[in-house]
Amino acid sequence: MDLKMCKITMRITYLLLLTLILFGCTDNRYLKIEVAAIQDISNDYIKIKHRRKWLKPPPPSTDNDEIQIDFETSEDQDEYKVFLSDALIPISQVKEDNQWMFDKLYETPKFDSIFNSITNSERFGKLGYKEYEKKNVTFNEPYQQFVDRKKEVGQYEEYLILGFSRVCFNEDYTYGLVVIDYKYGWPNGTGGGFHRPYLIKIENDKWKVIEE
């Protein structure tokens, strides 16, 4: 191989390495923003949804023994444990499996337009399965993250489960779209929950859930 060919080969190798480095940095930056959004919306969504404004069903009975609990008069727990899923699911996969969930969720024209532009973006289809450091997500009191609900939750203690898809942001990172899977329940069964896509927006350096 002559000197000219060596230089060409070295240049191609350098460009390939540079591309890989830049792609890795971009991917890490995106995940950092994504995890920050999950941190914020985890607390915001629990604040929205976990309210005792309606009568919840009692925990499932054990050994056919009836359990009588008056949720309207019972006091809130001092602490609620929250279980987070280990990975972020591709949002395009969720849409493919649940197309009906993505049909006209927002009546406000602005939000509807943003919702549609994100779902039709190139990025939407490229976000793949991603594990993340869920231990870095912290919750506001009285909530705290836990791992093994069989060991850490009392027999009649209520707990929460949160799962997320990948967060697909618009080009300027002012809005995002995420599917949230939320459940509440007890060690021997879940009592209810919600599963749907939500727009999120950055407001005063915090991500907030947009609900209509």
Q: How far is CA 166 from the centre of its chain?
A: 7
Q: Are 32 and 39 a contacting pair, CB within 8 Å?
A: no
What is the Cα–Cα distance from 39 to 176, expressed in whole angstroms? 14
* Per-residue pLDDT at 163: 95
Question: Quick one: tokens of 125?
Answer: 């289809």
pTM: 0.76
Give CA torsion, residues 125, 128, 129, 133, to 10 deg. Answer: -120
* Per-residue pLDDT at 10: 58
Q: Find where tokens 């191609």 sit.
A: 12
* Per-residue pLDDT at 188: 74
* Per-residue pLDDT at 66: 46
* Per-residue pLDDT at 78: 79
What is the Cα–Cα distance from 207 to 209, expressed in whole angstroms? 7
Give me the residues of the chain with pLDDT under 70, please: 1-27, 51-76, 148-152
Q: Are 2 and 134 a contacting pair, CB within 8 Å?
A: no
DSSP string, 148-171: -HHHHS-TT--EEEEEEB--EE-T
Q: Are 139 and 43 a contacting pair, CB within 8 Å?
A: yes
* Per-residue pLDDT at 125: 95
